[in-house]
């Protein structure tokens, strides 16, 4: 069993339950109750799960959608700060096992930038997780330039987590098994990331760092096509789209316990851009850990994915 740093280990402040509950509205109530219990636990159950998976450190992030669905800007700013303070208190109790991603109110770019800086400098978090669009506004919106300027200056990775699309995809109508985590969220989040690439965000902020779960939300499979179609449609960028995906985007293994997509991501992006994630408690951390432990990989590559890459890119020292 190799030591691991796990991204996408989720938590939920009790005060955020009203934001989170709609995401499990159609889930079996007993299962939803177990999820809630796991999300609000920072003690024995979470630590046992980590130990069984070989996770020495978890980077905790708020379970979505959080304040991304809050309509009142002042409330969103206040609640995001509260969530970060809540997380910091729990990280301080077990600094040997926990680190954190900040939660940000993207309704106000400068407030989000200030809170990101507070998270990085004062709370000692290692980046931020944003739960997709904020009331329909994506992260490529011109008004968010002050946020990206600050994130770049801080060297803060920004993890884009899936959320429901603004409008449910009509092509999935009548097939609820394809909604959300099965297919809809991956398409939504991959498209969100491509907006940043094709919109020139990484030309304007060349040192910005974006993270995606699920081994890149299908992007590693389509690099050639992105470059080909960008030429066809006359997209004006300093580099081919694939270059930005390889340079500015990092991916994690969350919810993807399969060797084929892992090998594709490694081949497409390079081993330094792939990191381990558990997606706890929505996925079993032990299953994710065993997958990485037993998938045929050179030992040095396995250690990079499991631990070294996250330690480097998130500034995490070995416990």
List active site positions.
279
| Contact between residue 202 and residue 248 where contact means Cβ atoms under 8 Å apart | yes
Buried b (16+ CB within 10 A) or exposed e, 237-247: beebbbebbbb
- Beta-ladder partners of 274: 251
User: Cα–Cα distance between 149 and 271 in angstroms, integer?
Assistant: 27
What is each CA distance from 247 to 58, 130, 221, 306, in whole angstroms?
25, 20, 16, 20
| End-to-end CA gap in the chain | 17
Buried b (16+ CB within 10 A) or exposed e, 157-175: bbbbbbbbbeeeeeebeee
What the block records as the tokens of 176 is 């609820």
| Contact between residue 123 and residue 154 where contact means Cβ atoms under 8 Å apart | no
If you write DSSP's letter for every residue of 227-275 in order, what string do you get?
Answer: HHHHHHTT---SS-HHHHHHHHEEEE-TT---HHHHHHHHHHH-GGGEE
CB atoms within 10 A of CB 211: 27
User: Cα–Cα distance between 227 and 145 in angstroms, integer?
Assistant: 25
The tally of CA atoms less than 13 A away on the side-chain side of residue 181 is 13
């Amino acid at each position: 069993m190799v030591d691991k740093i796990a991204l996408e280990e989720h938590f939920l402040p009790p005060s955020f339950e009203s934001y989170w509950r709609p995401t499990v509205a159609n889930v079996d109530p007993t299962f939803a109750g177990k999820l809630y219990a796991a999300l609000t636990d920072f003690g024995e159950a979470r630590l046992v799960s980590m130990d069984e998976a070989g996770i020495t450190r978890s980077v905790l992030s708020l379970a979505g959608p959080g304040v991304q669905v809050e309509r009142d800007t002042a409330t969103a700013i206040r609640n995001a700060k509260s969530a970060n303070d809540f997380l910091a208190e729990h990280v301080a109790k077990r600094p040997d096992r926990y680190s954190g991603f900040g939660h940000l109110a993207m309704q106000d770019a400068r407030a989000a930038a200030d809170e990101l800086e507070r998270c990085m400098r004062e709370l000692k978090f290692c980046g931020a997780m944003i739960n997709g669009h904020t009331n329909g506004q994506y992260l490529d919106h011109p008004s968010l330039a002050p946020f990206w300027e600050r994130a770049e200056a801080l060297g803060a990775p920004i993890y884009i987590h899936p959320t429901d699309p603004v409008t449910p995809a009509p092509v999935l109508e009548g097939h609820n098994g394809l909604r959300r985590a099965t297919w809809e969220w991956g398409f939504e989040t991959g498209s969100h990331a491509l907006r940043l690439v094709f919109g020139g965000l990484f030309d304007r902020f060349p040192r910005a760092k974006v993270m995606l779960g699920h081994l890149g939300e299908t992007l590693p499979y389509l690099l050639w096509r992105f470059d080909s179609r960008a030429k066809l449609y006359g997209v004006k960028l300093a580099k081919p789209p694939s270059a930005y995906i390889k340079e500015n985007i990092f991916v994690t293994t969350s919810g993807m316990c399969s060797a084929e997509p892992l090998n594709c991501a490694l081949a497409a992006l390079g081993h330094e851009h792939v990191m381990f994630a558990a997606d706890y408690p929505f996925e079993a951390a032990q299953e994710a850990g065993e997958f990485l432990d037993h998938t045929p990989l050179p030992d040095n590559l396995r250690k990079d994915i499991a631990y070294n890459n996250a330690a480097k890119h998130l500034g995490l020292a070995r416990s």
